[in-house]
Amino acid sequence: SKKHKVTVVGSGNWGSTIAKIVAENTKAHPETFEEDVQMWVYEEEVTIPKESKHYDESSGDKPQKLTEIINKYHENVKYLPDIALPKNIIANPSVEEAVKDSSILIFNLPHQFIGRISKQLEGKILPFARGVSCIKGVNVTESEISLFSEWIGEGLGIYCGALSGANIANEIALEKWSETTVAYDPPVIDSQAATPTGPSPSSSQINLTITDTDKQQDLKDSRGRTTKARLRAVPSSYPPLDHSVFKSLFHRPYFHVRMVSDVAGVSLGGALKNIVALAAGFVEGRGWGDNAKAAVMRVGLLEMVEFGKEFFGHSVHTATFTEESCGVADLITSCSGGRNFKCARMAAERNVSVAEVEKTELNGQMLQGTSTAKEVNSFLKARGREDAYPLFKAVLDILEGRKTVDDIPDLVARPDE
């Protein structure tokens, strides 16, 4: 019987950490997974820093390909320095090669880049593959919004779930305990409604024979609409791709997984909290205390829940925001030690822009909150709803210089109920 091959698409701070987790688990569960995990790396030339223990062995300050560094030293010296990666992670600069024959695709890269990568993968993946998006952001086009999990699913014609939680990557890479939430809820293929597939247009490229016993059906999105995403039966030669397989892929003694079905709630929590974390950074950088930060978090959580209910009410559960790691817990950790929080705090302290701090302090890591604030507000504006989300709006107005941090208290004050 066959085993699932796993690819992690992305290799930044969180991408490398998730690859570490997954590679530990593929090794621990040889009955289910192939041991080697492919990790797609956006290739760049990197100089190993002098303080790295690999500096001596390298050729001094000469830049080297990041994939070669990772495969030689088993460390991502740029995005996850000083963390030993399992040797069964294989860094690959070609995304098409990295996904070849993989039945599980984990998408983990800054949301700014997923569009191009997803396009490159069209027709290159196993048709019955399942995806999991670890991306924190939302996909906004003009007046429409979608979840990256759904958008990846539509683009690639597969089912895609989501992983999100109170997960600052550096802590998890050091194996300090945390929890996460995985939303994975493909419908059971309805044999009445399902249609047999003919040979897939991509089957010759990926060298797979599809027989007419394979079943597929359309998938609905989190707002109940039929989409181009298709659910295809996993061949019976593989272990079924159910909750237990995904739990065994992600759960570690230091990384506790709770499986849920609310993909929209999990995805929205991770995206929207980044806007709130910027606000928390602003008020702390302004010199206000923990009470101000708690006030921002209270209002932020309220807006996150309302946004979910207003635009994804068909499927979102309020409890996902209030009870799961991907909701309130992620909000708290992100407003304590996240990069969006820290960069906004430095920006307010130094009186410079957040973009400037991102450039000088993050060594190539990327903030998600600044672009998410812009995208969410442009979506709300197109719907005439921006005044209903005053904290989200205030963050964008501060980022773009129309308001100051001092304006936040009055902007977010609501009349007593």
For residue 386, the 8-state DSSP code is G
210 is a contact residue toward ligand 13P (CB under 6 A): no
Contact at 8 Å (CB) between 104 and 132? yes
Point out which span in 67-75, 121-129, 326-334, 347-355 binds ligand 13P (CB under 6 A): 326-334
Contact at 8 Å (CB) between 216 and 194? yes
293 is a contact residue toward ligand 13P (CB under 6 A): no
Q: Distance (Å, rounded) from C-alpha 91 to C-alpha 331?
A: 32
Q: Distance (Å, rounded) from C-alpha 397 to C-alpha 373?
A: 10
Residues with Cβ within 8 Å of residue 333, at least 6 apart in sequence: 166, 167, 168
The site string for ligand 13P over 148-167 (x = CB under 6 A, - otherwise) reads ------------------xx
Residue closer to ligand 13P (CB basis): 269 or 390: 269
345 is a contact residue toward ligand 13P (CB under 6 A): no
Of ligand NAD, ligand 13P, none, which one does residue 390 interact with (CB within 5 to 8 Å by kind)?
none
368 is a contact residue toward ligand 13P (CB under 6 A): yes
Q: Which of residues 94-153 bind ligand NAD (CB under 6 A)?
A: 108-111, 113, 134-137
Number of residues that bind ligand 13P (CB under 6 A): 13
Q: Strands 138-141 and 195-196, how do they pair?
A: unpaired
Q: What is the DSSP string of 11-45?
A: -SHHHHHHHHHHHHHHHH-TTTEEEEEEEE----E
339 is a contact residue toward ligand 13P (CB under 6 A): yes
- Catalytic residue chosen out of the listed positions 20, 273, 293, 393: 273
Closest distance between ligand 13P and the C-beta of residue 276, in Å?
10
Residue closer to ligand NAD (CB basis): 66 or 396: 66
Q: Look up 273 and say whether it is catalytic.
A: yes
User: In this structure, what token pair is assigned to residue 403?
Assistant: 């308001």
User: In this structure, what token pair is assigned to residue 251?
Assistant: 């759960």
The secondary structure of 202-229, three-state, reads CHHHHCCCCCCCCEEEEEECCCCCEEEE
Of ligand 13P, ligand NAD, none, which one does residue 277 interact with (CB within 5 to 8 Å by kind)?
ligand 13P
Contact at 8 Å (CB) between 116 and 152? no
Q: Distance (Å, rounded) from C-alpha 352 to C-alpha 259?
A: 41
Q: Which of residues 41-60 bind ligand NAD (CB under 6 A)?
A: 42
Closest distance between ligand NAD and the C-beta of residue 331, in Å?
13
Q: What are the residue numbers of the active site? A: 273
- The binding site for ligand NAD (CB under 6 A) comprises 10-15, 42, 79, 108-111, 113, 134-137, 167-169, 364-366, 368
Q: Which residues bind ligand 13P (CB under 6 A)?
A: 136, 166-168, 274, 277, 330, 333-334, 338-340, 368
